[in-house]
Amino acid sequence: MAALGTVVILAVAVFASLFMAWTIGAGSSGSTPFAPAVGARAISVMRAGFLVGILGLLGAILQGANVADAVGTGLVGGLTLSPTAATVLLLLAAGLVAVGIFTGYPIATAFTVTGAVVGVGLGLGGSPVWAKYTEIGTLWVLTPFVGGGIAYVTARVLRHEAVPERYTIPVLGALVGLIVANIPFTLLGSGSGASIAVATTAGLPVSPTIGQIVVSLAIALLVAGALVWDLGSGVEGAEQHFLLALGALVAFSAGGSQVGLAVGPLLAAVNGTSLPITISLFALLAFGGFGLLAGSWMGAPRMIKAIAQDYSSLGPRRSIAALIPSFAIAQVAVVFGIPVSFNEIIVSAVVGSGFAAGGAGVSKRKMLNTVLAWIGSLALALGAGYAVITVVELL
């Protein structure tokens, strides 16, 4: 009888994880990556929602392991989340994010999930992991300043009349190429994976360091060369193509970092049960990835429209400036296994690039409400998670 009850609870946890993945796809990971491109009229809302779902699925499978492990086992010490605990925190976090989707305010998914996991874990008697909290908090606090600052400077350079786009666009493309060459992919190595540069260097008759530098520079030059060639057909068209490529990279990164928020607790619950059940991390990431895809296709257009139009009316250059730091910060989070809010990343970069044009189109009231929603969602999820799991344990 006890085993049957555990199976039922685990089944509810699976449903809750899928619901969480759906809300993430409909909210942060599904709406934010292409929002600047939609704002710049480089792609339609519906097409952006379709593409972000596919790219998010690929990112979830190829880059989701680090964050999933951190969310499932790295936020609270001294215990393993039970199926009941996983169910409670997933339903709680998904409910808060769903409220954000239907009210039009981008609730930070990473804040709600992190708060729920920590609240439930502490309610069960777990111990705080202060080193991880410091790591997470540092990234969360620095993101608006670093992302917004880089976006501001990049937008100023792109708008400067003395610096033609035929020079700046290829240089920015080369920087993006360097990042792409050195981000990890699960299929290229063991554990969390290896980068393209590392995997390629393994077959070269040179030292690993020299090989990685050579491969990284080669990819950077290839991207820059492609943009130089594209610029030959017109600056506006090249900017549009570069912007769409950046949106695709950010959407891929969103899947890699956000899927762990949905499947991390489920992974811990499966591993913590006494039942003879085993499931591979790859299967869980694919499961979460399909949830992201469904959410992106069904619910993302509303949030894409909200972010693209409510925060700043961006042109191609400011949109490019917003997406480059967003991509870089997202990949830092993936590498270090830090749950990060894509709403925070993109919104900060969008506002930074918007202020490069004197703050045109930036709604300060909307931004204030958004920041308050982020802080409130973290505090509410933490407190509610602790209270709900305490009541459940008493019952």
CB 224 within 8 A of CB 242: no
Per-residue pLDDT of the chain (395 residues; tens, 9 = 90+): 456 667 788 888 888 888 888 888 876 666 667 776 777 677 777 788 788 889 989 999 999 888 888 888 889 988 888 888 888 888 888 777 777 667 666 567 888 899 999 999 998 888 999 999 999 999 999 998 999 999 999 988 888 777 788 889 999 999 999 999 999 888 776 666 688 888 888 777 778 888 889 999 999 999 999 999 999 888 888 888 898 899 899 989 988 888 988 898 888 777 766 666 667 778 889 999 999 888 888 877 666 766 666 544 667 888 888 899 999 999 999 989 999 888 788 888 878 887 776 655 556 676 777 778 778 888 888 998 899 888 888 77
Amino acid letter, residue 228: V
303 DSSP assignment: H
Give me 372's structure tokens. Answer: 């308050």
How many domains are contained in the chain?
1
Burial of 155 (0-12, 13-18, 19+ CB in 10 A): buried
> 139: Cβ–Cβ under 8 A, 6 or more apart, which residues?
329, 332, 333, 336, 338, 340
Tell me the two tokens of residue 70: 């951190």
Residue 93's domain comprises 2-394
- Neighbouring C-beta atoms of residue 203, cutoff 10 Å: 7
pTM of the full predicted structure? 0.87
